Copies of this chain bind each other. A is one copy, B any other.
């Protein structure tokens, strides 16, 4: 009897596993009893990828091509089909005993797998939200000292180079073949091969194997971030961000798409603007880290669907109107040059897949960085913005949707709204009948940013100055609560407002919150709350089952957890369980650059996460009205 049969079946009653998922247990040690990891993955996932995503290191030098024969594992319970490479690595007896090459062994049933101890300890990096990433980039270099050809050894130049790396099966592009003969002979057949995934992208004279870099981009609608990574160490060498140069075409994706519909030249211009932004950032980080652009051999790009389609010159119009159709869930293979980024001329550009028109690669990157699809706990992921993406689930099943929150959080439609820059009120506290403000840069308040807006509304609701329907109370009620706060009410253009920061005595010149601003926020938060309420229904769980809320994106980082709960933007729970996860899209891009297994995981997310379209739903409006009110 194999030891695994003794392990208890972990299925709990009521938690129906996703139909196409299988349970894998990786065990270590001689007794095969130490469970290193336990995970549910989509049927068909290789044991190698599943182990890697769960931090279980398996030996490999070929990157999963079935050629290095190092990733030997033994299936000790359950069965895994024999792949075509197994017969090259094992005898009949060993195959019968369950030995498989993990990189080609697809799990189609629940299995227990014994992983032999490693020969070498892999490098690893911490990235994302507590993710332990085993360093195995798609890019690698090999220094080769080749035999010179002779009449007895007339192998072609390409064959000679490939034979020196016979653990890999590489494609050789025409451009590399073109210069190979000259390079080999000029360098006395001592060269460095640059490999990206399954392609030999360069052969360089001499030994350059210690110089190996990649760029990870978060191509945001507002901000673009570039991270330069040293792929031999996993260390980020430089990071820079700048506003997306598409800004003059509008703050949000809809206005950018509209621009392309009004002007036939706008798509080309928007594309060029994105390219300029990305290339300028590439130049800055390379210069800072003293890395030549040609030493960057891969770029990873994440961003929402509109940003990626615009950057690649793909018509975005079908994204903007029902039924909201994207060009491709996984965009075709591209090169850095397709994004206008001047690095190595044959550097590929890796993009993340998208779940739908409004749940794009940035969210998939975020899920990769936070491990939502790997975790046992049910977690709620919200990227708050003009379009808010909401994901709910655990490793058993994950559902996702997009909620059109409107521009409240970007503060664009808010009368005194402004970006989160110096002078923006980012925090509001009402205590003891008085009001205090946190202003960015500790300077004179000039307006309020999204987090300030949420705080202000939350505090006013808490103080009783806004009722649960979102109406400012009348002066008498206000005065009864606090004369100081009551004095801040005023009327501008027949609209009732609450002054946060006076400038002189004129309310209209001051920083204030208007009744309409409150309505904007109500609509936004109701939209988001409706989103996660529908997702709990889809998943068949209660709001109380949610173990953690991850607030993603730059806005999520500033938002106060307490205020988010107070206005009902997130479910009510202990504040420590509401986590500002930061720029998880950018982290996801870094992870994909550092690990090819994690990159595969991001593609698996596409199959694992179900997209729920809200626009077609009959229950949306009812739920939305319910969510408009502030929790009491």
Contact = CB atoms under 8 A, between A and B. Distances in A.
Interface in A286-336: 312-315, 317-318, 322-329, 331-334
Contacts of A157: 318, 325-328
Given A151-B616, A329-B156, A182 B84 contact: no
A185 B318 contact: yes
Counting chain B CB atoms within 10 Å of each CB, which of A150, A314, A324 scores highest?
A314
Given A154-B324, A326-B156, A331 B177 contact: yes
A476 interface: no
A315 B181 contact: yes
Contact of A333 (B158, B174, B323): B174
A129 B154 CA distance: 31
Contacts of A333: 171, 173-174
Contact of A323 (B149, B158, B317, B326): B149
A328 B156 contact: yes
Contacts of A326: 156-157
Q: Please tell me how many copies of the chain the complex holds.
A: 2
Given A173-B332, A312-B178, A328-B172, A150 B318 contact: no
A323 B154 CA distance: 7
A338 interface: yes
Nearest to A182: B315
A328 B151 contact: no
Interface of A: 81, 83-84, 149-159, 171-174, 176-182, 185, 312-315, 317-318, 322-329, 331-334, 338, 356-357, 611, 613, 615-616
Contacts of A615: 151
Contacts of A329: 156, 158-159
Which are the 5 A-B pairs with shortest beta-carbon distances? Answer: A158-B328, A151-B616, A174-B332, A156-B326, A151-B323
30 contacts: A81-B84, A149-B318, A149-B325, A150-B323, A151-B324, A152-B616, A154-B324, A154-B325, A154-B356, A156-B328, A157-B318, A157-B325, A157-B326, A157-B328, A158-B328, A159-B329, A171-B332, A172-B332, A173-B332, A174-B331, A174-B334, A177-B312, A177-B314, A177-B331, A178-B315, A179-B315, A180-B327, A181-B325, A181-B327, A182-B315
